[in-house]
Amino acid sequence: MAELERILKDYGEERNYTKIALAIMRARKEAPIETTEQLKNVVESVCPRHGKTHPATQTFQALRIACNQELQTVETVLNSLGAILRPGGRAAVLTFHSLEDRLVKNYFKMLSKTGDWKLINKHALAPSYEEVRQNRRS
């Protein structure tokens, strides 16, 4: 259970990680959780729905990140930048959630402190109002 709690807390940034982990463990004792619908119902049973975002969203994110080793993959790519880029080359990284974003920002800050790398933008770039108006997912 400790590993499941860690995954929910670290990868899902889930506030109710202990409650959800306990509910999942209890449900698994009765029968395997084989569908996303079953997992959704387990999470919903301990974290009722409030607002637009479903309470299981962060749980699914956490499990996906853990299963796909997404953060480790980002770290591998970042650690390979020195070998991939030519001298004077530039790297741009698109991130899709705060965990990846934080990892990339901290890595680039660390590289810039060595003096061998230069940050072009100190802050992440965000889409303009017009871009969001044309493509709200930007």
User: CB count, 10 Å around CB of 111?
Assistant: 17
Q: Is the pTM of this model over 0.75?
A: yes
Q: b/e map of 7-37 (b: 16 or more CB within 10 Å)? A: bbbebbebebbebbbebbeebeeeeeeeeee
Task: Measure the CA–CA gap between 96 and 113, rounded to whole angstroms.
Answer: 25
68-122 pLDDT, tens digit each = 999 999 999 999 998 999 988 888 888 888 899 999 999 999 988 988 888 888 7
Burial of 126: CB neighbours in 10 Å, binned 0-12, 13-18, 19+: exposed
